[in-house]
């Protein structure tokens, strides 16, 4: 059950309408790394969680806060669109110069949403559930959460730099601060699970004896030049403490040349002119 509180988590009041900026702000609402994505990601991770109750609670607490951020952004975008009635757009269309200057507006903010926010990014691509990562493995998911919060804070900071509206900047300063906390909390949760599982590699439950351990810590130089040799990833103990990094300047081809039999005639693939005999493997 969800309970909606009427007040906003933080105020979302611009100094003045700005439909062009409203389009830009859509990115952190309905973009790949926007508030809709993190809200749904934490919601699905939490509701599906079969792990310790504290992780489910952590996820659902944060999911619900992200819904509050969706509410703030929708409110802000609607207010930025306040002064963009249809007749203004029609006036603009009569003058090619004005139309060019106002070209940064999203016409769907009038035609589709009627001066409201859209579940879309700044280029008008509609939000997709494919942005959501929820695997049931908390270490994989928490790392994905950290990535999403990192991109989200980066985009919020860029939008802060693009605005000269004190009301917009004030709201963004709140969202940026919450992204600071959310990055920190995922780092803490990642560290806790890594320590509990005594491993950094996901999934820790798959026996190492079943992987080809001879290549587990090789770094392959798959290009000319060896600049990549000068890094922690190519030298010393592996980060999981279970091996040694090994720089391989000329990686071998472990397998033979591949051979595929021609497809059966009813598939209508191109028939090879020469039918090579498969080499013994
Ligand atoms: Fe958020």
**Is 151 annotated in some ligand binding site?**
no
Whether 175 and 39 map to the same domain: the answer is yes
Mean pLDDT computed over 198-219:
97
The domain boundary residue, chosen from 197, 219, 248 = 197
For residues 34-70, one letter each, b for 16 or more C-beta atoms within 10 angstroms of the residue's C-beta and e for the rest, the string is bbbbbbbbbbbbbeebeeeeebbebbbebbebbbbbb
Mean pLDDT of the chain: 93
The domain boundary residue, chosen from 147, 167, 197 = 197
Ligand 1 midpoint to CA 68 (Å): 8
Whether 40 and 119 map to the same domain: the answer is yes
Ligand 1 midpoint to CA 39 (Å): 8
Q: How far apart are CA 52 and CA 193, in angstroms?
A: 11
Ligand 1 midpoint to CA 170 (Å): 15
The domain boundary residue, chosen from 197, 217, 248 = 197
Ligand 1 midpoint to CA 129 (Å): 17
Whether 72 and 177 map to the same domain: the answer is yes
What's the pLDDT at 86?
57
Residue 3 lies in a domain: no
What's the pLDDT at 273?
85
For the chain, the domain total comes to: 2
What is the 3-state secondary structure of 102-136? CCCCCCHHHHCCCCCCCCECCCCCECCHHHCCCCC
Residue 38 lies in a domain: yes
Whether 216 and 163 map to the same domain: the answer is no
What's the pLDDT at 93?
58
**Is 35 annotated in some ligand binding site?**
yes
For the chain, how far is it from start to end, CA to CA, in angstroms?
60
Residue 33 lies in a domain: yes
Residue 11 lies in a domain: no
Residue of 23, 43, 68, 78 whose CA lies nearest to 175? 68
Whether 104 and 220 map to the same domain: the answer is no
Ligand 1 midpoint to CA 173 (Å): 12
Q: How far apart are CA 157 and CA 176, in angstroms?
A: 7
Query: Does residue 22 carry a pLDDT above 90?
Result: yes
What's the pLDDT at 101?
55
The strand pairing partners of 248, in sequence order, are 220
Whether 45 and 155 map to the same domain: the answer is yes
CB 129 within 8 A of CB 39: no
What's the pLDDT at 224?
96
Query: What CATH number does the domain containing 100 carry?
Result: 1.20.1260.10
Q: Distance between alpha carbon 220 and the CA centroid of its chain, in Å? A: 28
Distant-in-sequence, close-in-space partners of 181: CB < 8 Å, separation ≥ 6? none
Residue 281 lies in a domain: no
In the three-class reduction of DSSP (H, G, I as helix; E, B as strand; rest coil), residue 208 is classed as: helix
CB 104 within 8 A of CB 60: no
Residue 202 lies in a domain: no
Q: How far apart are CA 162 and CA 153, in angstroms?
A: 14
Whether 119 and 37 map to the same domain: the answer is yes
Residue 242: which domain range?
A: 208-271
Q: What's the pLDDT band for 262 if we cut at 50, 70, 90?
A: very high
CB 190 within 8 A of CB 142: yes
Share of the chain above pLDDT 90, in %: 88
Mean pLDDT computed over 39-50:
98
Q: How many CA atoms lie within 13 A of 196 on its CB side?
A: 13
What's the pLDDT at 274?
79
Whether 165 and 41 map to the same domain: the answer is yes
Residue 72 lies in a domain: yes
Whether 93 and 190 map to the same domain: the answer is yes
Whether 74 and 163 map to the same domain: the answer is yes
Distant-in-sequence, close-in-space partners of 31: CB < 8 Å, separation ≥ 6? 37, 121, 122, 125, 127, 155
Share of the chain above pLDDT 70, in %: 90
Task: Output the pTM of the full model.
Answer: 0.90
What's the pLDDT at 188?
98
What's the pLDDT at 83?
77
CB 84 within 8 A of CB 19: yes
Q: Which residue has the tokens 């090879």?
A: 272
**Is 236 annotated in some ligand binding site?**
no
Q: How far apart are CA 148 and CA 135, in angstroms?
A: 15
Whether 38 and 101 map to the same domain: the answer is yes
What's the pLDDT at 104?
84
Q: How far apart are CA 247 and CA 228, in angstroms?
A: 9
pLDDT tens digit sequence for 129-185:
999 999 999 999 999 999 999 999 999 999 999 999 999 999 999 999 999 999 999
pLDDT tens digit sequence for 64-120:
999 999 999 999 999 999 976 555 555 555 666 665 555 689 999 999 999 999 999
In the three-class reduction of DSSP (H, G, I as helix; E, B as strand; rest coil), residue 248 is classed as: strand
Whether 26 and 159 map to the same domain: the answer is yes
**Is 69 annotated in some ligand binding site?**
yes
Residue 133 lies in a domain: yes
Query: What CATH number does the domain containing 233 carry?
Result: 3.30.1530.10
């Amino acid at each position: 059950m969800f309970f909606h509180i009427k007040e906003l988590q933080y105020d979302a009041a611009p100094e003045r309408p700005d439909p062009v900026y409203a389009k830009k702000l859509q990115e952190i609402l309905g973009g790949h790394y926007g508030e809709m994505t993190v809200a749904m990601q934490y919601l699905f991770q939490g509701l599906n969680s079969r792990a310790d109750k504290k992780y489910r609670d952590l996820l659902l607490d944060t999911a619900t806060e992200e819904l509050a951020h969706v509410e703030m952004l929708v409110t802000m975008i609607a207010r930025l669109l306040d002064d963009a009635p249809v007749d203004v757009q029609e006036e603009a269309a009569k003058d090619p110069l004005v139309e060019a200057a106002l070209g940064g507006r999203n016409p769907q903010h009038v035609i589709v949403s009627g001066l409201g926010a859209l579940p879309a990014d700044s280029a008008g691509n509609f939000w997709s559930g494919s942005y959501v990562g929820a695997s049931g493995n908390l270490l994989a998911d928490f790392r994905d959460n950290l990535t999403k919060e990192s991109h989200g804070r980066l985009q919020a900071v860029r939008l802060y730099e693009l605005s000269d509206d004190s009301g917009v900047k004030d709201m963004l300063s709140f969202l940026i601060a919450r992204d600071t906390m959310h990055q920190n909390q995922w780092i803490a949760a990642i560290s806790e699970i890594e320590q509990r599982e005594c491993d950094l590699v996901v999934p820790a439950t798959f026996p190492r004896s079943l992987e080809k351990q001879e290549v587990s810590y090789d770094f392959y130089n798959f290009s000319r030049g060896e600049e990549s040799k000068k890094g922690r990833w190519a030298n010393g103990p592996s980060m999981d403490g279970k091996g040694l990094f090994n720089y391989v300047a000329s990686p071998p081809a472990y397998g033979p040349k591949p051979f595929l039999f021609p497809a059966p005639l009813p598939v209508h693939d191109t028939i090879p002119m020469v039918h090579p005999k498969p080499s013994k493997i």
